[in-house]
Amino acid sequence: MASKRVEDQDPCTGKLTAIFTRAAKHVFGFFLMVVLCNVTHFLLKPVSQPRITSDTFIGLLIGNLGIVRTLFEKPAALALRFIIDFGMICYMLVLGIEMDPYVLLKAPTRDAKVAYAGMLSTFILACSITPLLNYTGKFKINFTLTLSTALSSTASPVLTRIITSCKIGKSDIGRLVIAAGMHSDFISTLLISIGYIVYPIREKPSGKSRIQEVVEMSSALVLQTVITAKVSPIIMNWVNNENPEGKPIKGSHLVLSVAFMGLVCSCSPAYGYSPMLSAFMAGVFLPSKGRVSKYVISKVNYLLTTIFYPIFFIWMGFQADFREFEPGQIGTWARLFLLFVIATVGKVTGTVISGLLLGFHWPESVALGLLLSVKGHYQIYLAVAANTAGTTSTTTSIVLVIAVFFTVVYIPSVVSHIIKRARKRAPTHRMALEWLDPSKELRLLLCVHGPQNVPAAINFIEISRGTTDPGIEVYVTDMIELTDQIAATLVQVDGVDNMRVTDQSVIDMREEITTAVQAYEDMNGDGVTVRRMLALSTFNAMPHDICNLAEELMTALIILPFHKTQRADGTLDAGHSGFRYVNRKVLRDAPCSVGILVDRGFGLMERISRSHVSPNIAVIFIGGKDDREALAYAGRVARHPGVKLTVIRFLVETSLENASRRAGSYRVNVAEQEEEMKIDDECFAQFYERQVAGGHVAYMEKHLANSSETYSTLMSLEGQYALIIVGRGGRVNSVLTMGMNDWQQCPELGPIGDVLSGSDFSMKTSVLIIQQHNVKGELDGLDDDFSIM
């Protein structure tokens, strides 16, 4: 009896084992696809390829593997198709929500004209050529119109993602192409949605007459559109009002909203209309603003990116069966080539014509056309769906998918060309001393914490003044923390944004500073202009205020006091954490070069005069952009007749140069290192010829082997100089500073500055640490919002 019971259970156990094994294989296939897509995307990242490129390639590869094809036999293939259709419904719903239907009622804007011109020229070209290429065996007007409309469309989600990731979304051409892409995507999908009523694509006939189908579908679609346009704003606005920003959306309200969306999306499909196009039409008339719409868009996009797209591209590869592909026929390659030519040449022709009418430069018009020809997920779905519906052959379907792939591959090169032209036509003004025109006035933003910083500030102004013509303009700025006590004394004057401080302690302190700098200007006014500024804010907001001041005043250099102050015994105190935070943030975000002045008696020494030589000042040059900036500042100091300047160059011993490169190879390639060293040598040679060769500046060389010798050499400078000027960092991984970062007390000063300002160094040597302007944005010297059109 026991053995009989075991035999009875065996069939059930076998079925469960088979089910779980099959499910495990499917899950394994999904994760394999995800991993391979991510790895390929990572490998293609240096050439800025979008994710759809790697996904398409891996999908075609994985979907055609024998082991994968055996997984998707009939029941699994049917389930997979249901998943794909549901995912595309979500995709089209979100696409529709992001569209604005009311643009059709407005006069065409510039971006709309570009989109319409590109679409029209592509549509005409496609309708003229595609019937001759035998894509469907015999001529079919519905396929020709659908294909022509698809070729004239733009995959706006893919285009927007590419433009944003390439960092040109804020530029004029970026904004224009994104808006034109949205117009093109909206109009083309709208035409396909309307055309589906007349020419439906079905895998099985509905059994109804054509007229009956048209009447039922059009009536259902009109009814769905009216309900969506009239009722959805009422429901969505009520839900949005009941769930204000900052609070989680109530579950019942969210369910109600999603249920309503599902209801309106299912109206027309009940009468034979496409569920995907129904979702798009419903999304178009749903409110695009409000918490519910934003929530749906974000959650659906997350679902698509993380789960749906890997499954989608496996399905695409599975349907694009390479065993049925006909690479030996010349017609296959002719159809592929002409599809790509129609999609690109058609768009370019339209955008060039519209560009001539709108006054664009022709290279930008061509770039617009190439960018607008990009296709994406919906076009891939249409290509595969045409095959499964029996409209096209597998070969034609694969050709269409590959054509979509090629419309995306070249886009990063087009963007790179746009950026290159923008750099030539719209170069940015780098606010740094190295690039400062000698014939222009030097502008400094000199910050002080209080009267204790004024003597050092005055001496700094004196050594920085250079020649009388063009002179120097200094904005002495008080850094004052906005406390509750001070905030209570602010009085509004002359408008909303203008406030006056009435706190007596602040007034007295500012008057003391003003009196001191005014006295200096009166005595040494030749070529020196001093103006007073105020940065009154909390420590969190102060860096932003200082950076804004520097940008508005177009200063080339910001000087910040070190957060530590020298005590009476010569040592530095623990410092002020608030001012240290400000220094760090300004170093990161400043629109120009930044210097931090560690004052150890620079203000207590005898006031520097042009009539007699007083202080010894040194500048240390190892290499890198910050050291070049320090050298550029030292060039101005060298013009002061009352300063004795010495430039000390640290060089790697010749026998150790290769070792230095090897040690640095894990971070910087040799080509980059050699290019940086070449710039350093050119910069130093110019300085040497201009200053050292003329006898104005003393010169020393130190040949060192490692960072230990660098430290010893720095310590040997103790007491020799009143001020030492150094670069913060920016060196190409020099062996002379390697490892010094590991034990820095103040990383914001850099390895050399940290040693010189440390407690082990001289109590009488001040240090100026300079960082060259870090160009904002990701475009290597070009503003994100550049203009090229």
**The pLDDT of residue 208:** 73
Lowest mean pLDDT among 57-61, 535-539, 650-654: 650-654
Share of the chain above pLDDT 90, in %: 23
Residues 759-774 have a mean pLDDT of 85
**The pLDDT of residue 667:** 47
pLDDT for 31 beyond 70: yes
pLDDT for 660 beyond 50: no
**The pLDDT of residue 596:** 94
**The pLDDT of residue 430:** 60
462-521 pLDDT, tens digit each: 888 877 777 889 999 999 998 888 888 877 665 445 677 888 888 999 999 999 999 888
Q: How far, in Å, are 469, 596, 650, 719, 755 from residue 647 at the CA level?
A: 25, 19, 10, 16, 18
pLDDT for 34 beyond 90: no
Task: Please report, as a single letter, which amino acid is at residue 679.
Answer: I
pLDDT category of residue 542 using cuts at 50, 70 and 90: very high
Element (H, E) at 723: strand 723-727
Give the separation between CA 789 and CA 777, rounded to whole angstroms. Answer: 20
**The pLDDT of residue 11:** 67
Residues 124-130 have a mean pLDDT of 89
**The pLDDT of residue 7:** 47
**The pLDDT of residue 648:** 92
Task: Please report, as a single letter, which amino acid is at residue 93.
Answer: L
Q: How would you classify the pairing of strands 491-492 and 499-500?
A: antiparallel
Q: With contact defined as beta carbons under 8 Å apart, do 567 and 455 qualify?
A: no
Give the separation between CA 290 and CA 298, rounded to whole angstroms. Answer: 12
Q: With contact defined as beta carbons under 8 Å apart, do 306 and 373 qualify?
A: no
557-592 pLDDT, tens digit each: 999 999 988 888 878 888 899 999 999 999 988 888
Q: With contact defined as beta carbons under 8 Å apart, do 126 and 151 qualify?
A: yes
pLDDT category of residue 664 using cuts at 50, 70 and 90: very low
Residues 597-622 have a mean pLDDT of 79
Of residues 278 and 132, the one with the higher pLDDT is 278
Residues 302-331 have a mean pLDDT of 86
Please state the length of the chain: 789
Residues 94-98 have a mean pLDDT of 91
**The pLDDT of residue 655:** 59
pLDDT for 595 beyond 70: yes
pTM of the model: 0.63
Q: With contact defined as beta carbons under 8 Å apart, do 298 and 277 qualify?
A: no
Residues 102-129 have a mean pLDDT of 89
Residues 180-208 have a mean pLDDT of 83
pLDDT category of residue 216 using cuts at 50, 70 and 90: confident
Q: Give 110-172 as a DSSP string.
A: HHHHHHHHHHHHHHHHHHHHGGGGTSSSS--HHHHHHHHHHHT---HHHHHHHHHHTT-TTSH
**The pLDDT of residue 662:** 40
Lowest mean pLDDT among 211-215, 245-249, 655-659: 655-659
Give the separation between CA 426 and CA 609, rounded to whole angstroms. Answer: 43
Residues 456-467 have a mean pLDDT of 86
**The pLDDT of residue 618:** 93
pLDDT for 349 beyond 70: yes
Residues 339-348 have a mean pLDDT of 91
pLDDT for 25 beyond 80: no
Q: With contact defined as beta carbons under 8 Å apart, do 444 and 555 qualify?
A: yes
- What separation, in Å, do the N-terminal and C-terminal C-alpha atoms of the chain show? 88
Residues 319-322: contacts with CB under 8 Å, at least 24 apart:
319/63, 319/384, 319/387, 319/388, 319/394, 319/397, 320/60, 320/63, 320/64, 320/384, 320/394, 320/397, 320/398, 320/401, 321/64, 321/69, 321/394, 322/60, 322/64, 322/398
pLDDT for 308 beyond 80: yes
pLDDT for 137 beyond 90: no
Q: With contact defined as beta carbons under 8 Å apart, do 457 and 479 qualify?
A: no
In the sheet with 697-704, reading across from the earlier edge strand, the strands are 528-537, 472-481, 442-448, 557-561, 593-598, 766-771, 723-727, 616-621, 644-652, 697-704
**The pLDDT of residue 4:** 46
Say how far residue 4 (Cα) sits from the centre of its chain. 69
Arithmetic mean of pLDDT over the chain: 83
Give the separation between CA 462 and CA 374, rounded to whole angstroms. Answer: 60
**The pLDDT of residue 658:** 45
pLDDT for 346 beyond 80: yes
pLDDT for 661 beyond 70: no
240-263 pLDDT, tens digit each: 888 877 678 888 888 888 888 888
Question: Residue 401: which of 426, 384, 422 has the closest Cα?
Answer: 384
* Summary count for the chain: helices (H), strands (E): 28, 12
pLDDT for 100 beyond 60: yes
Give the separation between CA 348 and CA 357, rounded to whole angstroms. Answer: 14
